[in-house]
Chains A and B, each alone.
Chain A
Amino acid sequence: MSATTAAWLVLAAPLAGTIVIGALFHRLGGRAAGWIGTAAIAVSFVFALITLAKVQQHAPGQRELTSTLWTIAGTTGVDARATILVDPLSVLMICVVAGVSTLIHLYSVSYLQGDRGYSRFFAYLNFFVFSMLLLVLAGNFLLLIVGWAFVGAASYMLISFWYRRTTATSAGMKAFVINVLGDIGLVLGTFFIFRHTHTFDLVASFHAAPHVFASGSGDVTAGCLLLLVGAFAKSAQIPLHTWLPDAMEGPTPVSALIHAATMVTAGVYLIARMHPLFQLAPAAGDVGAIIGALTLLIAGTIGLAATDLKRVIAYSTMSQIGYMIMGVSIGAYTAGLFHLMTHAFFKALLFMAAGSLISAMGAVQSLDRMSGLRRALPFTFASFLIGGLALTGVPPFSGFFSKDSILLFAAGRGGWHWALYVAGYLGAFLTGLYTFRMIFRAFLGEPCPEAVELIEHGHVFHPAAPVNPANGEVEDTDVGFPGPDHVIAERALPMRAAMSVLALLAIVGGIVSIPKTTSWLDHFLAPTFADSTLTSHSSNGLLYFGLILGAAISLASIAVAYVVWVARPGLAPAIAARLPRLTTLFENKWYFDEEIDALVVRPGAWFGRFAQNTFERVIVNGLLIGGSTGLVRAGSALVRGTQSGILRVYAGMMLVGIAGVGLYFLLQS
């Protein structure tokens, strides 16, 4: 089996899973759908590993393999083919995506049990993984756009999974609309590039780009900026990020899959994949780096003020994706992808632990209601702690190495990139603060009633009348959260298994690229990024300084969080009271929703009303439709007058007519 055959099978397995589960939707009882879905993704992961092994057998210079299955449309100037591109970058992505997705499927097998939409959930989930794999394996712009749009559609279906919840359906719509905005950016950007390279094929485009584009020329910059719009929408970067926190309305495994491990990393992948183009457009790269840095800081501050457990993790995702976008925008491709990989491990783990926690709390997600769950949920606590330590970047957890390698590269670029370096470490401090705020508030302190019930009576708390915490609506427990079963990781083996593997990876994931020790990832990705012109020159001193600074900041942030939220309980409200303006700004999420509402939504609605009341009513209905019907009506009235019904008039007209025709022909001859 060649590498490309294995890669096609990577795509085929989740698609088959979707079709099987979708077709047998009504016949699959119990957890059958869950196991089928998990098996499909596991098969996909196995083939991803085979692809990895096969690619490694090629010489380093020849690891860029393409395979075309058929031609979708081939005419003069258009080469639309079903082509996949297998190179170290896409192989790394399929391994991460399929691997983490397998574990999340395994987790969902238990977590979603008892939900009426169980089979539907796994059909969607498999479809999502298929879309994501299609996106990363796409060998031309067309398949990339198809995968990109599929991912958006799948996320819409999964966010609105509990469709009786009004908050969930509106969150799904919001995500879809913002993602479509990104799709438009991607499509328009593709046109800018296609106009000059005359090919949709990625490899051919990259080879042609340096010859047809002058460095920094208008068209390539515009194209790359439009691609960035797509990347920002998918990766939840400012100002297109507002869908991500709302998307936490979906089931928690969905949050783990889409909003932590795979979908939001698509933007990072896109920039890394398009790096030959971005290197011709340095301005676009700078925009990406600045937006990434801004996002990582702003999301960090919002995370400090948010009280919804899942939203804190969502803002943390935004912040971490900010690091990756910043990294790949300044040319730290390997470091950015390294962080992508470790982040996938620990963020999926954090979401899984959060899911278990929320189950134990009877669907309550507010941190204000949680406390002292440490003894009630020992396994969840341990996983959450490992995820939190990795996220904060405490050595030797995986996040420590990956975050620092991005910032080291930024420092090595010099110049204004030092600002990014500072922002990165500031963000790291915020990360530790909000992560341990979450952990300390949920797990330490006096046990809350739900925790007491779990410890003393040994059963999971079920609310008598479940209400949606977001808007107080009474929940439809048939198709909505919380379903009849609440599953905590302590009592479900599949969940525990998935979380254990991820916890292990979150601890040791950094091993693939430890400075001065191992550089497997760098060697593996080197062929893809060999042509990179963005280089960084950093000294050993800077490297050690960065590592020590990273470790110090992470430990300091944990210490500060301990003082503020554990040792001196009154301190946090006191600080908030001293800084009322800053607190309101953070609690209102920097007013991004309101700003977008004022700048886009309301003018749009006003224009819609104008179009309806003025344009449609007056011009379309009055002038065009009214005008044409009036014309026909007047004409028919004229003709109708001759239809008198009097026989003799008809006869007279006939005579005159025939005489007229006869005369005409007589005169003609």
Chain B
Amino acid sequence: MTIGWYLAVSALIFAIGAGGVLVRRNPLVILLCLELMLNAANLALIGFSRMWGNGDGQIFALIVMVVAACEVTVGLGLIVAMHRRRLPIDVDEMRELQG
């Protein structure tokens, strides 16, 4: 099986994730979509790793997972904080940084 299929699946998942980030308003779902994008990248990395036959890509994938874990921690923490302060769970409502 050529690398093309792996990359196609990866690209598809990345596009789904990116589309989710752009269209959904619930921060929880946005986080999930972000995870999709990261894992699409992981899939591509592992595909490349297999193609070249060395482990560099896998190590990258592991690191991405660590970063993703950190990011989820921070992101979920933010969502919990929003919930506690009874703020709306909607990213479009949170626009105080408007210039």
B-contacting residues of A (Cβ < 8 Å)? 639-648, 651-652, 655
Is B94's CB within 8 Å of the partner chain A?
yes
- Closest B residue to A636 using CB positions: B99
Taking CB atoms, residues of chain A closer than 8 Å to B21 are 648, 651
Taking CB atoms, residues of chain A closer than 8 Å to B95 are 644-647
For the complex, what is the distance from the CA of A528 to the CA of B22, rounded to whole Å? 97
User: How close is A13's CB to chain B, nearest CB, in angstroms?
Assistant: 71
Sorted nearest first, the 9 A-B pairs with minimum C-beta distance are A643-B99, A645-B98, A645-B95, A640-B99, A647-B91, A645-B97, A651-B21, A652-B22, A646-B95
A647 touches B22 (CB 8 A): no
- Closest B residue to A641 using CB positions: B99
What are 22 A-B residue pairs whose CB atoms fall within 8 Å in the complex?
A639-B99, A641-B99, A643-B97, A643-B99, A644-B95, A644-B98, A644-B99, A645-B95, A645-B97, A646-B91, A646-B92, A646-B95, A647-B92, A647-B94, A647-B95, A648-B21, A648-B23, A648-B91, A648-B92, A652-B22, A655-B18, A655-B22
Binary interface profile of B, 60-99, with partner A (CB < 8 Å = 1, else 0)?
Answer: 0000000000000000000000000000000110111111
Taking CB atoms, residues of chain B closer than 8 Å to A655 are 18, 22
For the complex, what is the distance from the CA of A642 to the CA of B97, rounded to whole Å? 11
The number of A-B residue pairs with CB atoms under 8 Å apart is 35
- Closest A residue to B33 using CB positions: A651
Taking CB atoms, residues of chain A closer than 8 Å to B25 are 648
For the complex, what is the distance from the CA of A491 to the CA of B53, rounded to whole Å? 119
* Contact pick for A645, options B18, B22, B23, B96, CB 8 Å: B96
Interface set, chain B 1-35, CB cutoff 8 A to A:
18, 21-23, 25, 30
User: How close is B19's CB to chain A, nearest CB, in angstroms?
Assistant: 10
User: How close is A654's CB to chain B, nearest CB, in angstroms?
Assistant: 10
Taking CB atoms, residues of chain B closer than 8 Å to A651 are 21-22
Known: A655-B18, A655-B22. A645 touches B91 (CB 8 A): no
Taking CB atoms, residues of chain A closer than 8 Å to B30 are 647
Interface centre among A639, A641, A651 (most CB of B within 10 A): A651
**Interface SS of B by simple majority:** loop
User: How close is B20's CB to chain A, nearest CB, in angstroms?
Assistant: 10
For the complex, what is the distance from the CA of A647 to the CA of B91, rounded to whole Å? 6
For the complex, what is the distance from the CA of A646 to the CA of B99, rounded to whole Å? 11
Taking CB atoms, residues of chain A closer than 8 Å to B91 are 646-648
- Closest A residue to B91 using CB positions: A647
For the complex, what is the distance from the CA of A646 to the CA of B23, rounded to whole Å? 12
- Closest A residue to B37 using CB positions: A655
* Contact pick for B99, options A645, A648, A652, CB 8 Å: A645
For the complex, what is the distance from the CA of A648 to the CA of B93, rounded to whole Å? 11
Instruction: Give 5 new A-B contacts, CB below 8 A, not counting A644-B95, A645-B97.
Output: A641-B99, A645-B96, A645-B99, A646-B95, A651-B22
Taking CB atoms, residues of chain A closer than 8 Å to B22 are 648, 651-652, 655
Taking CB atoms, residues of chain B closer than 8 Å to A640 are 99
User: How close is A400's CB to chain B, nearest CB, in angstroms?
Assistant: 91
For the complex, what is the distance from the CA of A643 to the CA of B96, rounded to whole Å? 10
Taking CB atoms, residues of chain A closer than 8 Å to B94 are 645, 647
User: How close is A632's CB to chain B, nearest CB, in angstroms?
Assistant: 15
For the complex, what is the distance from the CA of A639 to the CA of B92, rounded to whole Å? 21
A643 touches B98 (CB 8 A): yes
For the complex, what is the distance from the CA of A644 to the CA of B91, rounded to whole Å? 12
Interface centre among B18, B21, B91, B99 (most CB of A within 10 A): B99
For the complex, what is the distance from the CA of A264 to the CA of B21, rounded to whole Å? 90
For the complex, what is the distance from the CA of A645 to the CA of B95, rounded to whole Å? 4
Taking CB atoms, residues of chain A closer than 8 Å to B99 are 639-645
User: How close is B92's CB to chain A, nearest CB, in angstroms?
Assistant: 6
Taking CB atoms, residues of chain B closer than 8 Å to A644 are 95, 98-99
User: How close is A520's CB to chain B, nearest CB, in angstroms?
Assistant: 91
- Closest B residue to A639 using CB positions: B99
- Closest A residue to B19 using CB positions: A655
Taking CB atoms, residues of chain B closer than 8 Å to A647 are 30, 91-92, 94-95
Taking CB atoms, residues of chain A closer than 8 Å to B96 are 645
For the complex, what is the distance from the CA of A579 to the CA of B30, rounded to whole Å? 108
- Closest A residue to B98 using CB positions: A645
- Closest B residue to A643 using CB positions: B99
- Closest A residue to B34 using CB positions: A651
For the complex, what is the distance from the CA of A645 to the CA of B91, rounded to whole Å? 10
For the complex, what is the distance from the CA of A652 to the CA of B21, rounded to whole Å? 9
User: How close is B11's CB to chain A, nearest CB, in angstroms?
Assistant: 12
Taking CB atoms, residues of chain B closer than 8 Å to A648 are 21-23, 25, 91-92
Taking CB atoms, residues of chain A closer than 8 Å to B23 are 648
User: How close is B12's CB to chain A, nearest CB, in angstroms?
Assistant: 16
- Closest B residue to A647 using CB positions: B91
For the complex, what is the distance from the CA of A639 to the CA of B99, rounded to whole Å? 9
- Closest B residue to A659 using CB positions: B18
Taking CB atoms, residues of chain B closer than 8 Å to A641 are 99
Binary interface profile of B, 30-44, with partner A (CB < 8 Å = 1, else 0)?
Answer: 100000000000000
- Closest A residue to B23 using CB positions: A648
For the complex, what is the distance from the CA of A644 to the CA of B95, rounded to whole Å? 7
Taking CB atoms, residues of chain A closer than 8 Å to B18 are 655
User: How close is A504's CB to chain B, nearest CB, in angstroms?
Assistant: 90
Taking CB atoms, residues of chain B closer than 8 Å to A643 are 97-99
For the complex, what is the distance from the CA of A545 to the CA of B30, rounded to whole Å? 120
- Closest A residue to B24 using CB positions: A648
Taking CB atoms, residues of chain B closer than 8 Å to A652 are 22
User: How close is A275's CB to chain B, nearest CB, in angstroms?
Assistant: 76
User: How close is A656's CB to chain B, nearest CB, in angstroms?
Assistant: 10
For the complex, what is the distance from the CA of A448 to the CA of B97, rounded to whole Å? 90
User: How close is B24's CB to chain A, nearest CB, in angstroms?
Assistant: 8
User: How close is B9's CB to chain A, nearest CB, in angstroms?
Assistant: 19
User: How close is A636's CB to chain B, nearest CB, in angstroms?
Assistant: 9
User: How close is A640's CB to chain B, nearest CB, in angstroms?
Assistant: 4
User: How close is A76's CB to chain B, nearest CB, in angstroms?
Assistant: 57
For the complex, what is the distance from the CA of A643 to the CA of B21, rounded to whole Å? 19
User: How close is A41's CB to chain B, nearest CB, in angstroms?
Assistant: 73
User: How close is A493's CB to chain B, nearest CB, in angstroms?
Assistant: 85
For the complex, what is the distance from the CA of A652 to the CA of B18, rounded to whole Å? 9
User: How close is B78's CB to chain A, nearest CB, in angstroms?
Assistant: 12
For the complex, what is the distance from the CA of A590 to the CA of B79, rounded to whole Å? 93
For the complex, what is the distance from the CA of A643 to the CA of B99, rounded to whole Å? 5
User: How close is B70's CB to chain A, nearest CB, in angstroms?
Assistant: 19
Taking CB atoms, residues of chain B closer than 8 Å to A645 are 94-99
User: How close is A214's CB to chain B, nearest CB, in angstroms?
Assistant: 73
User: How close is B93's CB to chain A, nearest CB, in angstroms?
Assistant: 10
For the complex, what is the distance from the CA of A641 to the CA of B97, rounded to whole Å? 12
- Closest B residue to A637 using CB positions: B99
Taking CB atoms, residues of chain B closer than 8 Å to A646 are 91-92, 95
User: How close is B72's CB to chain A, nearest CB, in angstroms?
Assistant: 17
- Closest A residue to B25 using CB positions: A648
For the complex, what is the distance from the CA of A647 to the CA of B33, rounded to whole Å? 14
User: How close is B26's CB to chain A, nearest CB, in angstroms?
Assistant: 11
For the complex, what is the distance from the CA of A646 to the CA of B21, rounded to whole Å? 12
For the complex, what is the distance from the CA of A648 to the CA of B18, rounded to whole Å? 10
Taking CB atoms, residues of chain A closer than 8 Å to B98 are 643-645
